[in-house]
């Protein structure tokens, strides 16, 4: 049995069976047109409202998988269906190689993607043996938890009545034992802000099973706990969904699929933020493992799922990982390599902690994005004890809760805008590196930027998508400062006193963030470059 201690690292010595993992992709979906015409058939009202607020399109990816296809897979000899994904229109199966390969004969199967890289004709570095698995006007008396809150300036948000109220956070983790009884979560329960949860591995609503890992309980307490003079989380008034996606006793690719399923459910429930203190790269069977070259944000199944969650308007906060001291795999794992906010660890004095995984990604992007306290963090365990824990597992939720409290001030801002505000407020924004990323955020500074509201409904851009020249319409004859960022928040263009258009012909195809500023006016747009 694996023990979860201060830094959640392990090496598995399990034997391998003849069973393979694979994703089975389907050719189509049922009732797409009808579902998109009436989104209430497939999404909750909360999800529809959140997407409307952020102008997030509802598209075919929101339509559920054809259950008849799932039933047919279950009927195939030697096949176990473990998970499904509406975003990818696929199912995760386990079975012997021949049994999975035979699924190609089914008329509704488009393609099969094996987790075993040898079966996909992809190379694997056999020397990579180790990586982190579980990453891992108010005046509060924070008690023992004071430093982990104040290091980010989150206490300033709380003092201004920003405590996460009205924001919804989904926690994807390994287990949440005894949540229904712990004193630390009494306020959460009494105010009906524990909205529910699910154990995706056991297909059960019993996500508080005392036999599960306590890792999720510890993680949740850094955000949601309320114990005056002892422990107060960074978003004590937010609402929470708790999803178990991690299987502590093993490390297999199906956990990636559980993660994507949980993210899809979070999207359908109208969740604003996902916190994931999980990292994937090295599996029990090395044939399934990823290499550092795969950490490009586009290769790992879980990273591709995280990218879609971001596209759907969810702000995904992910632990960087605890493998910074590994000689073979010191880099961030998946989905920390995706278009998410990746969080590394510092100590109480703002110093880099050596276990914190580093960047860059395989394609050269800055990771981690930001840093938070991850050494000697105060948390509540499943037996009502306050404990000291360490790992980027805890840097991430401390950050996620702080972001929820900030976003409460202006929930109409998009997830990408909030991510960028957090990066811009950080201590190394103008000089990032691959250990600290953009540094330690200052949420008081982020708040000051957030309250620069757009009060001008006449400001508009066109065309979008754009081929070469992006034009913008504005009142009067004022000029604007224009800044262009990529989706990872890196500044790639800055021009002052721009009159009414900007030339983007030299930029490659993709999605960018364009920010227009003038005096106390600021407005950002997502730009699609053709």
The residue annotated as part of the active site, out of 54, 201, 215, 279, is 215
The residue annotated as part of the active site, out of 62, 135, 155, 173, is 173
Strands in 289-353 per DSSP E: 315-319, 341-346
- Going by C-alpha positions, the residue among 143, 70, 116 that lies closest to residue 284 is 116
The residue annotated as part of the active site, out of 85, 136, 393, 405, is 393
Specify whether 425 is catalytic.
no
How far is the C-alpha of 252 from the C-alpha of 83, rounded, in Å? 13
Specify whether 215 is catalytic.
yes
CB neighbourhood size of 97 (10 A): 15
3-state SS class at 277: coil
- Going by C-alpha positions, the residue among 119, 153, 116, 156 that lies closest to residue 139 is 156
Strands in 440-479 per DSSP E: 460-462, 469-473
Are the C-beta atoms of residues 26 and 69 closer than 8 Å to each other?
yes
Token pair listed for 265: 């459910």
How far is the C-alpha of 255 from the C-alpha of 262, rounded, in Å? 10
Are the C-beta atoms of residues 67 and 91 closer than 8 Å to each other?
no
DSSP 106: S
Helices (H), 430-519: 443-450
CA 176 to each of CA 55, 197, 383: distance values in angstroms, whole numbers, following the listed order: 34, 10, 12
Helix axes of 215-224 and 392-407: crossing angle, nearest 10 degrees: 30
Are the C-beta atoms of residues 179 and 383 closer than 8 Å to each other?
no
- Going by C-alpha positions, the residue among 403, 341, 404 that lies closest to residue 193 is 404
Q: Around 325, how many Cα atoms within 13 Å sit in the side-chain half-sphere?
A: 9
- Going by C-alpha positions, the residue among 224, 234, 239 that lies closest to residue 406 is 234
- Going by C-alpha positions, the residue among 258, 123, 264 that lies closest to residue 199 is 258
Token pair listed for 280: 């994937």
Specify whether 158 is catalytic.
no
Residue with token string 């050494």:
375
How far is the C-alpha of 47 from the C-alpha of 384, rounded, in Å? 34
Which residues are catalytic, by number?
173, 215, 393
């Amino acid at each position: 049995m694996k023990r979860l201690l201060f830094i959640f690292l392990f090496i598995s010595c399990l034997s391998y069976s003849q069973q393979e993992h694979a994703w089975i992709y389907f050719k189509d979906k049922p009732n797409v047109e009808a579902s998109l015409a009436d989104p209430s058939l497939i999404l909750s009202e909360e999800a529809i409202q959140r997407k409307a607020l952020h102008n997030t399109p509802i598209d075919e990816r929101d339509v559920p998988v054809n259950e008849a296809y799932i039933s047919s897979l279950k009927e195939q000899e030697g096949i176990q269906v473990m998970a499904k994904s509406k975003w990818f229109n696929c199912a995760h199966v386990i079975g012997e190689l021949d049994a999975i390969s035979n699924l190609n004969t089914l008329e509704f199967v488009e393609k099969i993607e094996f987790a075993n890289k040898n079966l996909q004709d992809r190379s694997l570095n056999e020397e990579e043996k180790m990586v982190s698995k579980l990453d891992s006007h108010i005046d509060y008396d924070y008690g023992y938890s004071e430093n982990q809150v104040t290091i980010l300036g989150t206490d300033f948000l709380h003092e201004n009545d920003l405590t996460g109220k009205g924001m919804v956070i989904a926690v994807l983790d390994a287990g949440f034992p005894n949540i229904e009884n712990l004193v630390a979560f009494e306020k959460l329960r009494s105010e009906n802000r524990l909205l529910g949860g699910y154990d995706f591995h056991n297909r059960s609503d019993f996500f508080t099973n005392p036999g599960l890992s306590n890792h999720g309980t510890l993680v949740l307490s850094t955000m949601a706990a309320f114990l005056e003079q002892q422990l107060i989380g960074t978003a004590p008034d937010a609402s929470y969904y708790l999803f178990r996606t991690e299987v502590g006793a093993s490390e297999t690719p199906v956990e990636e699929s559980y993660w994507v399923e949980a993210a899809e459910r979070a999207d359908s429930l109208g969740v604003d933020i996902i916190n994931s203190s999980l990292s994937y790269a090295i599996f029990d069977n090395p044939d399934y493992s990823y290499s550092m070259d795969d950490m490009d944000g586009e290769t790992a199944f879980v990273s591709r799922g995280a990218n879609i969650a971001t596209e759907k308007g969810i702000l995904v906060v992910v632990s960087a990982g605890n493998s910074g001291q590994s000689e073979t795999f010191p880099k961030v794992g998946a989905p920390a390599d995706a278009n998410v906010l990746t969080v590394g660890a510092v100590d109480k004095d703002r110093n880099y902690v050596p276990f914190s995984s580093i960047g860059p990604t395989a394609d050269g992007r800055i990771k981690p994005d930001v840093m938070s306290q991850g050494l000697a963090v105060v948390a509540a365990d499943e037996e009502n004890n306050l404990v000291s824990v360490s790992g980027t597992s805890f840097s991430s939720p401390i950050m996620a809760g702080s972001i929820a409290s900030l976003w409460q001030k202006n929930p109409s801002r998009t997830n990408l805008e909030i991510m960028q505000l957090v990066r811009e407020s950080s201590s190394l924004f103008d000089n990032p590196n691959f250990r600290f990323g953009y540094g330690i955020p200052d949420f008081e500074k982020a708040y000051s930027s957030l309250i620069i509201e757009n009060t001008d409904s006449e400001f508009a851009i066109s065309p979008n998508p754009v081929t070469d020249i992006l034009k913008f319409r504005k009142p009067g004859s004022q000029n604007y400062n224009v800044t262009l960022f990529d989706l990872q928040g890196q500044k790639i263009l800055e021009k002052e006193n721009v009159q009414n258009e900007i030339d983007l012909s030299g930029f490659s195809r993709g999605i960018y963030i364009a920010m227009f500023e003038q005096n106390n006016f600021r407005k950002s747009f997502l730009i699609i470059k053709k």
